[in-house]
Amino acid sequence: MTERCVMSEAYRQLARVRVRTRWPGYAQPEDFGYDFREWVSPYTKGAHAVNGIALVLQDWSSSEGLGDDPDPDVQRYGRTPGLRTNRMLEDLLARVVGLKLANVYATNVFPFIKSGTISSPLPFGDVVHAAEQFTRVELELARPRLILALGRVPFAALQRVGVSCYRLPHPAARIGRADAHARAWRAVLQRVGWPIEMHK
């Protein structure tokens, strides 16, 4: 049973640390006109149910990906609902575990804004540093029963900082159509004994 909640003071304090943190070469969502000061990662704004499944993606956005003017949908949901990755993630959650994104806890292992495009790589050491400073702590606060790392980089970074998790393909991974992603999800969830929706 998951529960959406008012974020704890410990979480809000961690979010304030994220806002104050400046790493050379990276920006903050607030530098682009957004106000996510209450969140470690903006993605969590629309997906902060605790005591259930936690999804950890790599990074939230890039300087070129955010553009010049804030997007009202991004400010409201913490993500772009129409983005292919987000649509695929919503579909997989519904098909495989019968949940909406709002019914899980979702975050990014790297909460800052990188330069370049959304597909620009990040130095792995920076991702590990962010995982140690932010993601490990926020997952402890969210108390998930199952942590799913979406992609190689978040999985490796979480493992490096001692977070027990399972790796799934990133929703944008080119492993085939949606059915291939759903099979990969089901294989992992069956292995750990998590209830799945077999009829969809």
Please identify every stretch of the chain with a pLDDT value under 70, giving residue numbers as ranges: 1-5, 198-200
pLDDT recorded at residue 172: 82
pLDDT recorded at residue 1: 43
pLDDT recorded at residue 41: 98
HSE at residue 91, side-chain half, CA atoms within 13 A, is 16
Task: For 3-192, give the CATH class.
Answer: alpha beta
DSSP H stretches of helix in 41-198: 63-66, 72-77, 84-92, 124-130, 136-142, 152-160, 178-192
The secondary structure of 23-76 as a DSSP string is -TT-B-GGGGT---TT-SSGGGGG-BEESSEEEEEEEEEEHHHH-SS--HHHHH
pLDDT recorded at residue 87: 93
Model-level pTM?
0.94
Contact 133, 153 (CB under 8 A): no
pLDDT recorded at residue 129: 98
Q: Where are the domains of the chain?
A: 3-192
Give the tens place of pLDDT for each residue, 3-39: 556 799 999 999 999 999 999 999 999 999 999 999 9
Measured distance CA(195)–CA(97) in Å, rounded: 7
**For residue 32, how far is the Cα from the chain centroid?**
20
